[in-house]
């Protein structure tokens, strides 16, 4: 894993930050976490998505870009880096939340920024059933997620699956997490780490034994 830039992705509540934190400790890697709670529009967005979508999206886009620029200034070749988000994923939310005019303006901004972003050596896409996502979101009890509609989560989960079904910019490891708990189970975590370290090129799908 030395010198590798690994990104963990998936819908809200799937366990991105938890896995990124665990992997950074296990692999002695630099940890880059998204700061979603710093978005001042997020609570308002979950209450009225149509009204607050554009400012919420642009705030996320600029924050993610700033963080990625800081990452690009670091030496990625000496130490592995683990991040709990993929910069490109911003477009998943944009296409889900913005109207046609907002999306046209968003695309102009995104394309200017995306050309300057460091691409990961590996993307890990975590999947889970919506019922599991809702359970995990409820368990972590973040204040701004209390207004999160289940229909929005269903649409988001579908959008993620569609996006990563076509993804080819980096090697991709798809992991079904519905029936495992890598936070509480050491065996589940060790098995995940084994799959990650064996990953090389292309796209691979991993369904843990406990899910079969």
Report, as residue numbers or ranges, the catalytic residues. Answer: 84
Smallest Cα–Cα separation from 117: which of 79, 98, 89, 77?
Answer: 89
Give the span between the Cα atoms of 54 and 97, in whole angstroms: 8
Question: Do residues 120 and 167 lie in contact, with contact meaning Cβ atoms separated by under 8 Å?
Answer: no
Plot region of 13 (φ>0 → left; ψ -120 to 50 → alpha; else → beta): left
Q: Kindly calculate the radius of gyration of the chain based on its CA atoms and give it in whole angstroms.
A: 17
Which burial class, exposed, middle or buried, applies to 60 when counting CB atoms under 10 A from its CB (0-12, 13-18, 19+)? buried
Sheet (strand 122-127) strand order: 30-32, 81-83, 5-9, 122-127, 172-176, 203-206
- List Cβ neighbours of 57 (8 Å cut-off, separation of 6 or more): 90, 93, 94, 97, 98, 102, 106
């Amino acid at each position: 894993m030395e010198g590798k830039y690994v990104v963990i992705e998936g819908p809200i509540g799937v366990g991105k930050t938890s896995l990124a934190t665990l992997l950074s400790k296990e692999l002695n890697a630099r940890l880059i976490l998204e700061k979603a709670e710093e978005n001042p529009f997020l609570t308002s967005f979950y209450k009225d998505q149509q009204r607050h979508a554009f400012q919420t999206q642009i705030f996320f886009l600029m924050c993610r870009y700033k963080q990625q620029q800081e990452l690009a200034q670091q030496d990625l070749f000496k130490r592995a880096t683990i991040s709990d988000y993929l910069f490109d994923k911003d477009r998943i939310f944009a296409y889900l939340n913005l109207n046609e005019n907002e999306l046209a303006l968003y695309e102009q901004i995104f394309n200017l920024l995306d050309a300057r972003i460091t691409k990961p050596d590996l993307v890990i896409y975590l999947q889970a059933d919506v019922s599991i996502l809702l359970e995990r979101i409820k368990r972590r009890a973040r204040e701004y997620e209390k207004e999160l509609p289940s229909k929005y989560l269903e649409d988001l989960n579908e959008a993620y699956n569609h996006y990563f079904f076509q993804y080819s910019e980096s090697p991709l490891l798809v992991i079904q997490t519905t029936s495992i708990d890598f936070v509480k189970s050491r065996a589940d975590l060790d098995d995940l780490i084994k799959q990650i370290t064996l990953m090389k090129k292309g796209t691979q799908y991993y369904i843990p034994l406990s899910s079969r």
